[in-house]
Amino acid sequence: MGTASPRALNSRWPAVAVVLLAMALFVVPAIAAAAPGDALVGVEITLNNTSGGSLTRFTFVAKSAAPIDSLDLAFPRGFDLSKITLDVVTLEGLTRVPVTAKHEVDGTALKMTFSPPIGSGATIRAQIRDVRLPATGGEHEVGVTYVSQGTAGSVASPEFTFETVKTSELLSRWLDEQPWVKSWNTVDALRLFAQPQKIAIAVPLLFVGWLTSITLVAIAFPFAIVGGLALAFARMSKIPPVRWFAGLYINVIRGTPLFLQIYIAFVGLPIAGVRAPLFITGVLVLALNSSAYLAEIFRAGIQSIHKGQFEAASSVGMTYWQAMQHVIVPQTVKRVLPTMTSEFILLFKDTALLSAVGVFELMLYSNSIATRSGNLTPFVVAAVYYLIITIPLINWVGRLEAKLAVAEGGQTPQNPNKRGGLFWRPASAGPIAEYEASAEVHESR
């Protein structure tokens, strides 16, 4: 930026522009005299709005060193001049003298004709309103040519910059002008909860938050599984203190709100001198919380396996852990998968609570956009983002449960309707009960 030309600097720093303008007013006659043939000097261009894709007002300022009959500005491609209005004055000292100017637009070329011609030594200021900028910003220049006393001339092209606009912003502006959007928004509820423009803005912004929420739970959940398994076995341990500790932990976690646990962790850890990034602390709380619920799910699953399985494993000389690893846990997995997935869904939704302590996940994103814009549409968009994950999982859980009901229904002919309902079908093969019916794993929250 520091290497940009002085004129480019002017357009960015109005204070500098004022200084240079003042210099131009007093010094330029000398420069003009020193460079004969240049009828126009000290040309500069400023924009009042530097956001791509929007309407802006160009202010063209130059000093005439000779009478000017007409002025041509050639804008780069992509500029839309079709709706412009023009206002040209000359400044003599501090007084503004209106100039009679006719203008023609041909594509991106603007031709201004002055009658009578602007006299020598005047400061010309042309304001071109309602120029629509292209979406892609960066450095641009305007070609300036003029006719002075019947002779054409040109000056070095003044430069200016503006910012690239986000596609979502463009889309939102485009939507602003659509008749159907206007009529859609006349309904209060629709405007408040499902405003198309806000949807266009919220979708890409919330996407980042959504990824954060997914990442939080994707890291926390595997840890919760490991912790949950450890707690489940500790809870079934033969050693009383181990059993008590696990029971205490599980009950305290399950007996207090996650919200409270989040506050304790986010306030407590820094006080204890542990400085972890918010995200890490968030993962930690989620994992610690979920491990307690998973522990109960696993324990219920393990205990739902008929004790004959453990006895059969023992009778061939397997140790407790061998029996667990090779016989009990593999059978438990299938049974706890639906409940585990439900727990995953709960945990995913619970990431929203982390917004209260400043973890920038989906909820906090939507909340901040909603509050800023005074519109609830971002919340609806957030809801859709949550549902994208949860609905397929909910369906999957349903199918898993149905499959499990069929499998276990087939193996428990003495009580085929235990799982009951629409899903139960008799399995084609009907062997005698191998192990007890269903994993009575309870809903976790």
Partner 1 sequence: MSDQAIVRIRGLRKAFGDNEVLRGVDMDVVKGEVVVILGPSGSGKSTLLRCVNRLEEPTGGEVWFEDVQVNLPKTDINKVRERIGMVFQSFNLFPHLTAKGNVMLAQRKVLGRSKEEAARIAVEQLERVGLDDRIDYYPAQLSGGQQQRVAIARALAMDPHVMLFDEVTSALDPELVRGVLDVMKQLAGAGMTMMVVTHEMGFARDVADRVVFMDEGVIVEQGSPAEVFDHPQHERTQDFLGHIT
Residue ranges that bind partner 1, judged by CB under 8 A? 306, 308-309, 311-319, 322, 326-327, 330-331, 334, 407, 410-411, 427, 429, 431-435
Helix/strand/coil for 389? helix
CB of 439 to partner 1, least distance (A): 13
Given a contact cutoff of 8 angstroms between Cβ atoms, the answer to whether 293 and 343 are in contact is yes
Looking at the Cβ atoms of 34 and 432, the one nearer to partner 1 is 432
What is the C-alpha separation between 445 and 441, in angstroms, rounded? Answer: 12
Which of 173/306 has CB closer to partner 1?
306
Cβ of residue 225: shortest distance to partner 1, in angstroms? 19
What are the DSSP E strand ranges found in 95-206? 95-98, 101-106, 109-118, 123-132, 138-141, 143-148, 151-155, 159-162
How far apart are CB 311 and partner 1 at their closest, in Å? Answer: 6
Burial 341-374 (b: 16+ CB within 10 A, else e): bbbbbbbbebbbbbbebebbbbbbbbbebbeeee
Least distance between partner 1 and beta carbon 314 (Å): 6
SS3 of 397-414: the string is HHHHHHHHHHHHHHHCCC
CA distance 125 to 132: 20
Q: Which CB, 89 or 433, lies closer to partner 1?
A: 433
ω into residue 277 within 30 of 0, thus cis?
no
CA–CA separation, 410 and 429 (whole Å): 7
Beta carbon nearer to partner 1, 182 or 307: 307
* Closer Cβ to partner 1, 102 or 307, answer by number: 307
Cβ 302 to partner 1 shortest distance, Å: 14
- Closest to partner 1 by CB, 52 or 410: 410
Q: Minimal distance in Å, beta carbon 310 to partner 1?
A: 9
**Residue 336 Cβ vs partner 1, minimum distance, rounded to whole Å:** 14
- 3-class state of residue 62 by DSSP: strand
The burial of 37, by beta-carbon neighbours within 10 Å (0-12 exposed, 13-18 middle, 19 or more buried), is given as exposed
Residue 191 vs 335, nearer CB to partner 1: 335
Phi/psi of residue 291, nearest 5 degrees? -60, -35
